[in-house]
Structure 1
Amino acid sequence: MRPLADLRVIAVEQYGAGPFGSLHLADLGAEIIKIEDPSSGGDVGRYVPPYTDGEDSLFFETFNRGKRSLSLDLSTAAGREVFEDLVAESDAVYSNLRGDVPARMGLTYADLKHVNPRIVCCSLTGFGMTGPRAKQPGYDYILQGLAGWMSLTGEPDGPPAKSGLSMVDYSGGFVAAMALLAGVHAARRDDQGMDCDLSLFDTAVGLLTYPATWHLSAGFAPERTRHSAHPSLVPFQVFAAADGWLVVGCAKEKFWRRLAEVLELPDDPRFATFALRRQHREELLEILERAFATRTVAGWLAVLEPAGVPCGPVNDVAAALADPHTQARNMIVRTEHPAFGTVTQVASPVRVGDEPPAYRRAPRRNEDFGYVTDDLLGYGPEQVARLRAAGAFGA
């Protein structure tokens, strides 16, 4: 059995953060039944340009492989009836909505415990279900600014900058998946479910880590650094070579000694320790920048890697995907899609055991209607017809 083959999750999810979290559960074998609102055409991620085809997009494929889809109108009594029947057969209800919406839609443990006392209700919202911002919509870029990330990103004399990827969304998805698994573990042990109140805001603030500790405990004022330099370790940053950029980092004294040997630098008491290199940062970096400019990136990697100096090229996306290590680690996934043909994407980094995951394309909207109504819930034709007439599955 795959690691999570005995886990069923009802996902009222959309766009990026929520689907990214449940994607990893699906890759590990969990059954993710994705509830899509028929009145809005389902998950908005289906329509994200530029690569779209009707109700499918490569964006949607990225975040929803291996899942099932059911069109269900939760605003109707009939739709709610089907939803609660699903809850009775599931381990968790997972959502990513605005903070006040789960309670309004009846997706909390208090709303569902009468159906299934062991249900885990995991809500990933922008700002959480409590606090003064609970009713505000939360998006990755906004959270990167609000949580201080953008103030730390970019060159010191440039504007604040976001990460090139939606790291608050993706980290929030990982946090929600971890909380869901912990909740299900506890529910199976204690025969009682619970709420898991996760937020992108908490995730972003939590990832401030040691700069936050330094600030709160010692008054440290984080600031942007030139060439993406580490705030305390010198050298640890990007350097310009003759034909591009590379990252060199000396996170241990032994790495500095190896770098100095490769560069044939004379012993200099100014650079003898972590603290002294930080104190004389400007003088040291001037020496290093002048040295690194004399060879190509490949030329430097050819001497730094054998010497055991932590380093790497600043790749573009194409080069990162073509790296031999990407292939060796089985990080490329291929699925077949009726409109897009072979869809090639990246695998989940979550690995459990030796058996490789089995991948399946993302579902077409409502593709799993028959599986849910007939196989899972055991509805007969008359019951399906009654629910359909009552608007459970949309117009």
Structure 2
Amino acid sequence: MNTPRLPLDDIRIIAVEQYGAGPWGSLHLADLGAEVIKIEDPGAGGDVGRYVPPYAEDEDSLFFEVFNRNKRSLSLDLATPAGRSVFEDLVRVSDVVYSNLRGDVPAKIGITYDDLKHLNPRIVCCSLSGFGMTGPRVAEPGYDYVLQGLLGWMDVTGEPDGPPTKSGLSMVDYSAGFIAAISLLAGVHAARRDGVGMDCDVSLFDTALALLNYPAAWHLNAGYQPHRTRRSSHPSLVPFQLFEAADAWIVVGCPKEKFWQRLTGVVGRPEWAHDPRFATFADRERNRVELLGLLEPLFHTRSAADWLADLHAAGVPCGPVNSIPDALADPHTAARGMLVETEHPRYGRLRLPSTAVRVGGEPRPSRRAPRRNEDFGHVLTEVVGLTDTRISELVDAGAFGPPAEVPGLPDRYREARQP
């Protein structure tokens, strides 16, 4: 009987990654079966995500766990000749070098396609940076919070009379991770088809700008001025926003004309469906203030649960404004298998949100994030094929950091170094 294979179990990725955006992209690839080998800088104590508070102790953090399931870890000092030698051995047997460093760094440390193609003509070098590998901002560090301000996201988020507001989640980071994963897979496909690898230059800047989408198109072509809207309402579809019920907030939307017609019945005003002020998308947008002035007091009259029951029954798009704990406890969360469990030597049983990738029916792996340098033996012997003698030489040469400080170093290499 053949063992079922995961979709990406024939792809090996060397991930010079840290923090959020980069690890988020490769997490999805690891969930699909790719072998993701994290290269962690021993001089920095590895991925900075290992130390993110508040739930962190020594080199273990819940932040790190949620971004790095199903991956492997190797401490490697790329600045040393010995460390570079190991890295180049890995390039020869891998499909991708994936990084999320500042845009000018891949070229400086020699991990672009031109730097590595002599080792492996099919290697795909995917860089995810703040501002990309070209342009006037190439040397600037880029972080989600900064990009949400720079690219106009904060200017259109929040109440009109309030301050600019950041999204409650790191959506630039997460979206850029998705774009990097898509770009990386496209690169691997082309390299296998054509026999030639390439650079993939992905950035938070490009991602955040692309996601401006139709408001940007309206501005560029029709002079529209994007702005914050009251109660998070849609800029053109009315009604589609938050409404305050007697006891809680709910979201109600009419993105099709049929939903508006149904809503008029739910709120007890069926005549509004044919009222010339509100009959079409354009009519309701033009008379937004008047319509919402009529609707909002109606929603105050009943509980959120009562409104949602009637709206669901009528087939009107709607939902509660849940807290994150509410969302995690929603029955649909469990039904969709969106919480995974891992066993951790410090934390014991961990429950974590899953990724949303679903390809075929095979169960996805659920292995905890690696301790720093945990996969030293696997990577060097099984992946690269080094002998114990060669590994001992590399340890002595500082390939993995100061020899006395290499975490997870098997005893036989420590013993070999004893005078």
- The reply to whether TM is greater than 0.5 is yes
* Match of residue 372, structure 1, among 358, 379, 390: 379
Is contact 1:53-1:339 (8 Å) kept?
A: no
Partner of 1:269: 276
How many correspondences in the alignment? 395
Letter in structure 1 aligned against 2:305: A
CA distance in 1, matches of 2:362, 2:331: 21
Q: Residue deviations 1:330-351, cap 9 Å, x none?
A: 1011100000111111111111
Partner of 1:306: 313
Partner of 2:75: 71
Q: Residue deviations 1:342-388, cap 9 Å, x none?
A: 11111111110011202100000000000011111111111011111
Letter in structure 1 aligned against 2:361: D
Stretches of 4+ aligned residues off by more than 6 angstroms: none
Partner SS, residue 314 of structure 2: coil
Partner of 2:257: 253
Letter in structure 2 aligned against 1:324: P
CA distance in 2, matches of 1:358, 1:124: 25
CA distance in 2, matches of 1:378, 1:283: 73
TM-score normalised to the size of structure 2?
Answer: 0.94
CA distance in 2, matches of 1:76, 1:275: 65
Q: Residue deviations 1:19-42, cap 9 Å, x none?
A: 000000000000000000011110
Cα distance, 1:58 vs structure 2 = 0.2
Partner of 1:53: 57
CA distance in 1, matches of 2:322, 2:49: 28
Cα RMSD between the aligned structures?
0.6
* Match of residue 388, structure 1, among 385, 388, 395: 395
Cα distance, 1:194 vs structure 2 = 0.2
1:13 and 2:17 equivalent?
Answer: yes
* Match of residue 330, structure 2, among 323, 327, 334: 323
Partner of 1:4: 8
Cα distance, 1:53 vs structure 2 = 2.1
Structure 2 unmatched runs, 5+: 403-419
Partner of 1:94: 98
Is contact 1:109-1:120 (8 Å) kept?
A: yes
Is contact 1:88-1:115 (8 Å) kept?
A: yes
CA distance in 2, matches of 1:114, 1:279: 62
1:209-248 matches, within 5 Å, as 209-248=213-252
CA distance in 1, matches of 2:243, 2:176: 32
Q: Residue deviations 1:136-187, cap 9 Å, x none?
A: 0000000000000000000000000000000000000000000000000000
TM-score normalised to the size of structure 1?
Answer: 0.99
1:84-123 matches, within 5 Å, as 84-123=88-127
CA distance in 2, matches of 1:242, 1:143: 37
Q: Residue deviations 1:38-81, cap 9 Å, x none?
A: 11110000000011121110000010000000000000000000
1:77-226 matches, within 5 Å, as 77-226=81-230
CA distance in 2, matches of 1:203, 1:125: 11
Structure 1 unmatched runs, 5+: none
Partner SS, residue 264 of structure 2: helix
Partner of 2:416: none
* Match of residue 303, structure 2, among 281, 284, 296: 296
Letter in structure 2 aligned against 1:302: A
Q: Residue deviations 1:80-136, cap 9 Å, x none?
A: 000000000000000000000000010100000000000000000000000000000
Partner of 2:341: 334
1:25 and 2:32 equivalent?
Answer: no
Partner of 2:410: none
CA distance in 1, matches of 2:54, 2:33: 30
CA distance in 2, matches of 1:319, 1:376: 44
